Structure 1
Amino acid sequence: MRKVTSKMAPTKWTRANDKACVIPEGFTVLPLKFYSDTKAQHSLYAKEHKVRAENCPHRPLDKTLFVLNIPPYCSEDVVKQLFSQFGPVKSVELGDHPGSFHSGPKLSKHFTPAQKQCFKVGYIVFHNRSSVAAAKSHPHNVALVVCSTQHTVKTGVPKWIQQYKDAFVQPDKLQGIVDDFMKNFDKKKEKEEERQRKEVEQQKDDEEGWVKVTRGPKGNKARPRSEAANKRAIQKEMRKKKRKELLNFYTWQHKNTQKEHIAELRKKFEEDKQRIALLRAQRKFRPY
């Protein structure tokens, strides 16, 4: 007899495993494993960052991926390594809750408080738009591996020992960090003072508060108001208001001043009437 072999067609569930798992609110489920051979896995939830109210130049809407449920053992470097398989990663931001994180130059860990060990949210900024689409279409049966032979991540006792060693800093190294920080701070302060000085020179007003308006480079009238000019105008208004308050501090004092003024006007009016009557009497014609 001839042996007949038949190849079964893949089931619907098998075909569905090759696709991305999208849950309500548009989040894509990304499975995560610490080691590739472990059975336990964790789930990350990612979607494209589309918050129109937030205007952050370092988070472009078409190149930023918003990720939830990032475990505590995943640092910024680990998250960057995990998502670099979808494309080159420009920057990674991790925080306790969604929103605007620290803006400006990144400070050293010696000048920032210790972060809480909790599940975090992250913003992954890619160089290309296609990387966001690749992350959203990642199949949910292929897990992202945190620790591998190429990228080792310490955990447990080795991690605590490393953190304890990093807590001790050499004095010369710490002094170098402090010096760099103070240099950047002084440069920033000098630039701000120079900018304010130029604004004061350009927006000088006279004693009456008039400001000279000049035309901009395109022929449009430049706005004369600056921070220094606004501050001087507010101080001038406060001085005027204070003088008025000193003249009539209380309401009853203001009313009494008005009554005294009216009484003085009436008294002067009566005196003028008597003077006019006297002049008329003196001008009467008397031939005899």
Structure 2
Amino acid sequence: MASSKKKHASSQPCVIPGGFTVLPLQFSSDSVAQHKLYVKEHKVRAEKSSHRPLDRTLFVLNIPPYCSQDVVKDLFSQFGSVQSVEIRDHPGSSQDSGPMLSKLFKPAEKRGFKVGYIVFQNSSSVAAAKSHPHDVPLVVCTEQRPVRTGVHKWIQQYTQSFIRSDKLQQLVDSFMGGYDKRKEEEAERQRKEAEQEQEDEEGWVKVTRGPKGAKARPHSEKANKRTLQKEIQKKKRKELMNFYTWQHRNTQKEHIAELRKKFEEDKQRIALLRAQRKFRPY
């Protein structure tokens, strides 16, 4: 009975501080060394992307360099159907801006331990991955899924780096076709905005309700320029008025100073005449 209890206790998942569950990773079935993956349910309040649903996304740390995106997808498929796998150098928000580029247009990836976001089809798969026993390792390289390392890996990558000219031309044509389409859509959008901003004979601009979340523009470019010119003229008039007010105040101060100076001179002259007894008021 004691041995069965001990075996049952060792089959429990290993949870470390921070809420991460430890998943042992073994390169092959006959390997002695093991690698540790740390998984946790992805719960970020600031994450509003639909590509990472909070109830079906698993956050994975310490993914080794020899585990590609396809390998990670196959490893976690035993817990349930995997919808998508995203491997990044550092954790962060998803970046979906811009079109999806081919590997030929992307810079070389950094070789090192990475983080991943695994999206399952069902939320129960996340719980199954978190409850995986820590004494049952996940095997990377199997007969059904061989993973090359060392010299064989570099030879395979070097061979795959060459691409046929017709396939490259097809990828370039596909990318440029999407680029031209986006440019046409942008030009059409700008043309419609310019039509909406045109003024009539009396200077009025028709305001229509735009798409959801877009702000309508009640003024045209000409109206904005006129408003800007009026603000500039108003500012100049205010500066000129302030200048004349400053000049008028300085003139008053100089006049008062002259009167005080003349008053002091008259006082001194009267005092001198009194001292000489030549003061004749009449």
| TM-score category (smaller protein) | 0.7 to 0.9
Determine if contact 2:27/2:34 at 8 Å carries over to the other structure: yes
Match of 1:33 in 2: 26
Match of 1:133 in 2: 127
Match of 1:70 in 2: 63
Match of 1:266 in 2: none
Could you say if the C-alpha distance between residues 236 and 150 of structure 1 is closer, same or farther in structure 2, counting changes exceeding 3 Å?
farther
Percentage of pairs with the same residue = 60
- Give the AA of the match of 1:162: Q
Match of 1:278 in 2: none
Partner of residue 146 from structure 2, selected from 152, 175, 180: 152
Rounded Cα–Cα distance in structure 2 between residues aligned with 1:94 and 1:36: 25
Rounded Cα–Cα distance in structure 1 between residues aligned with 2:220 and 2:41: 42
- Give the AA of the match of 1:124: I
Any gaps of 5 or more consecutive residues in structure 1? 1-7, 263-288
Rounded Cα–Cα distance in structure 2 between residues aligned with 1:185 and 1:203: 27
Partner of residue 79 from structure 1, selected from 72, 77, 83: 72
Match of 1:272 in 2: none
Number of residue pairs matched by the alignment: 248
Equivalent residues in 2 for 1:163-174 (5 A)?
163-174=157-168
TM-score (norm 1): 0.74
TM-aligned CA deviation for residue 9 of structure 1: 3.1
TM-aligned CA deviation for residue 199 of structure 1: 4.2
Rounded Cα–Cα distance in structure 1 between residues aligned with 2:67 and 2:227: 56
Match of 1:50, SS state, is: coil
Determine if contact 2:66/2:149 at 8 Å carries over to the other structure: yes
- Give the AA of the match of 1:91: S
TM-aligned CA deviation for residue 259 of structure 1: 6.5
TM-aligned CA deviation for residue 37 of structure 1: 1.6
Could you say if the C-alpha distance between residues 241 and 178 of structure 1 is closer, same or farther in structure 2, counting changes exceeding 3 Å?
farther
Could you say if the C-alpha distance between residues 165 and 196 of structure 1 is closer, same or farther in structure 2, counting changes exceeding 3 Å?
same
TM-aligned CA deviation for residue 149 of structure 1: 0.4
Could you say if the C-alpha distance between residues 17 and 195 of structure 1 is closer, same or farther in structure 2, counting changes exceeding 3 Å?
farther
Determine if contact 1:213/1:224 at 8 Å carries over to the other structure: no
Match of 1:276 in 2: none
- Give the AA of the match of 2:167: K
Rounded Cα–Cα distance in structure 2 between residues aligned with 1:136 and 1:185: 42
TM-score (norm 2): 0.75
Match of 1:124 in 2: 118
Could you say if the C-alpha distance between residues 79 and 244 of structure 1 is closer, same or farther in structure 2, counting changes exceeding 3 Å?
same
Rounded Cα–Cα distance in structure 1 between residues aligned with 2:141 and 2:36: 16
Determine if contact 2:24/2:34 at 8 Å carries over to the other structure: yes
Determine if contact 1:203/1:224 at 8 Å carries over to the other structure: no
Determine if contact 1:211/1:224 at 8 Å carries over to the other structure: no
Rounded Cα–Cα distance in structure 2 between residues aligned with 1:25 and 1:59: 21
Equivalent residues in 2 for 1:193-272 (5 A)?
193-202=187-196, 212=206, 225-226=215-216, 237-244=227-234, 247=236, 255-257=242-244
Match of 2:83 in 1: 90
